[in-house]
């Protein structure tokens, strides 16, 4: 089966095979990875290797802390404003999709939100996003506590090609659906967060990379589990972390380093996306890409056909042929091919062949 799920999503075969062995018994330990204490030496080595793998891949400087938290990216929608908004109590949000709107909703409970830009179009329940704003469209407050944006919009299939320029205001990014898909200049960011379940591992563990000076903003009055500073002081071991999820992140980072790192992964991701976008663009309008060309995502390729009936027919036939998870998000309709890091090139080639054949039979 070629798994186009938007998340939890496909993981590298090598990772799954190694995990399968360790699920029964870790070599030299004799107990499953699921059965060992988070305070054990064996687990501590895994925890440090997962952090080290991320550090190497993303070139994370020493003045940043890596945290493994729980509650998904959705809890970060709250933790970011709770920790970073005071004392100014105002922040800029750039809206490019449903997830940034959800992030903004939580921030509004903490303080004042300035919508620095929105690319939402349409009316009523037919609202949608199909592009990333240009730098010139951003109305930034130089005195904001931070600027929040979503680097890849999983639902609409749009992605920032480069980060917004925000001057000295800390840049905060929800990178849930494109983290580790390409090199990042971490120094441009104050904080990056990402649920693991697309490019890093299973659901239930959330990566937070935070510049250390920002930890000073976390106030003692915050609930312990919502406080970045406390998580940082305890190396993400204040309570029991998602040990299995962190273990998979360790294996995924090892796999990526073995592949040649993020430059290499980026090349492969561009190649995969290009194959699909070429198929769409060369179909003479049979397939219509949802995102504007200069805003297209390398991770989630969204497109429509002339009618919903035809879309359903394609999804049904594709599912029978072994292509799983192509139905678009309920709020957009159409089709979405999520082609994260671990999705193989040959799976994209097979889908393109299938789409061309479908067009011949139905065009």
Q: Which residues are annotated as a binding site for pyridoxal 5'-phosphate?
A: 73-74, 99, 154, 174, 197, 239-240
22 or 174: CB nearest ligand PLP: 174
Residue 201 sits at φ, ψ, to 5 deg, of 170, -150
Q: Which of 150, 218, 297, 304 binds ligand PLP (CB under 6 A)?
A: 150
Among 270, 276, 271, 278, smallest CA distance to 350 is for: 276
Burial of 291-325, coded b for 16+ CB within 10 Å and e otherwise, reads: beeebbbbbbbbbbbeeeeebeebbeebeeeebeb
190 or 201, CB closer to ligand PLP?
Answer: 201
Q: Is 302 in the site for ligand PLP (CB under 6 A)?
A: no
- Does 201 interact with ligand PLP (rule: CB under 6 A)? no
Work out how close the CB of 180 gets to ligand PLP at its nearest, in angstroms, rounded to a whole number. Answer: 14
Asked if residue 181 lies in contact with residue 340, where contact means CB atoms within 8 angstroms, the answer is yes
Residues 6+ apart with CB under 8 A from 202: 8, 11, 196, 244, 245, 248
Of 68, 99, 244, 358, the residue at the interface with ligand PLP (CB under 6 A) is 99
Which residues does residue 85 pair with via DSSP β-bridges, in sequence order?
none
Of 180 and 305, CB closest to ligand PLP:
180
Cβ atoms < 10 Å from Cβ of 330:
7
- The dihedral through the CA atoms of 147, 152, 153, 154 has a sign that is negative
Rounded Cα gap, residues 10 and 202, in angstroms: 10
Q: In the complex with ligand PLP, which residue's Cβ is closer, 43 or 99?
A: 99
Residue 109 is classified by DSSP as T
Cβ-contact 326, 315 below 8 angstroms: yes
- Annotated binding-site ranges for L-glutamate: 39
255 is catalytic: no
Candidate list 22, 92, 174, 178, residue with the active-site label: 174
Residue 72 as a binder of ligand PLP (CB under 6 A): the answer is: yes
7 binds ligand PLP (CB under 6 A): yes
73 binds ligand PLP (CB under 6 A): yes
- Judged by CB under 6 A, which stretch of 42-50, 110-118, 173-181, 222-230 contacts ligand PLP? 173-181
Of residues 53, 81, 164, 195, which one binds ligand PLP by CB under 6 A? 195
Q: Does 295 engage in binding with ligand PLP (CB under 6 A)?
A: no
Q: Least CB distance from residue 89 to ligand PLP, whole Å?
A: 24
Of these residues, 51, 101, 130, 198, which one is catalytic? Answer: 198
> How long is the chain?
363
- Chain contacts with ligand PLP (rule: CB under 6 A): 7, 72-74, 99, 150, 154, 174, 176-177, 195
The residues assigned a catalytic role are 99, 174, 198
């Amino acid at each position: 089966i070629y798994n186009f799920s938007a998340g939890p999503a496909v993981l590298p075969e090598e990772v799954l095979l190694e995990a399968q062995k360790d699920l029964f018994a870790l070599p030299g330990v004799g107990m499953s990875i699921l059965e060992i204490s988070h305070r054990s030496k064996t687990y501590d080595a895994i925890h440090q290797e997962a952090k080290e793998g991320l550090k190497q891949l993303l070139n994370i400087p020493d003045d940043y802390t890596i945290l493994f938290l729980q509650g998904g990216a959705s809890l970060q929608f709250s933790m970011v404003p709770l920790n970073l908004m005071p004392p100014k109590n105002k922040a800029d949000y750039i809206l490019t999709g449903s997830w940034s709107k959800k992030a903004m909703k939580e921030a509004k409970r903490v303080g004042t939100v300035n919508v620095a830009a929105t690319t939402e179009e349409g009316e009523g329940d037919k609202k949608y996003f199909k592009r990333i704003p240009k730098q010139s469209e951003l109305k930034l407050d130089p005195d904001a506590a931070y600027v929040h944006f979503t680097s890849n919009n999983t639902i609409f299939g749009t992605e920032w090609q480069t980060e917004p320029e925000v001057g000295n205001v800390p840049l905060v990014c929800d990178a849930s659906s494109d983290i580790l898909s390409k090199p990042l200049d971490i120094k441009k960011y104050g904080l990056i967060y990402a649920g693991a379940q697309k490019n890093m591992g299973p659901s239930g563990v959330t990566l937070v990379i935070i510049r250390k000076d920002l930890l000073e903003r976390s106030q003692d009055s915050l609930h312990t589990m919502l406080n970045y500073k406390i998580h940082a002081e305890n190396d993400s071991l204040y309570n029991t972390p998602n040990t299995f999820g962190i273990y998979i992140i360790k294996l995924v980072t090892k796999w990526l380093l073995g592949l040649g790192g993020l430059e290499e992964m980026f090349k492969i991701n561009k190649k995969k996306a290009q194959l699909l976008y070429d198929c769409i663009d060369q179909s003479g309008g049979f397939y219509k890409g949802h995102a504007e060309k200069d805003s297209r995502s390398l991770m989630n390729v969204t497109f429509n056909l002339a009618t919903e009936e035809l879309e359903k027919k394609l999804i049904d036939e594709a599912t029978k042929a072994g292509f799983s998870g192509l139905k678009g998000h309920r709020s957009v309709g159409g089709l979405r091919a999520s082609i994260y890091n671990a999705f193989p090139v040959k799976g994209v080639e097979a889908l393109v062949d299938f789409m061309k054949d479908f067009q011949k039979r139905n065009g």
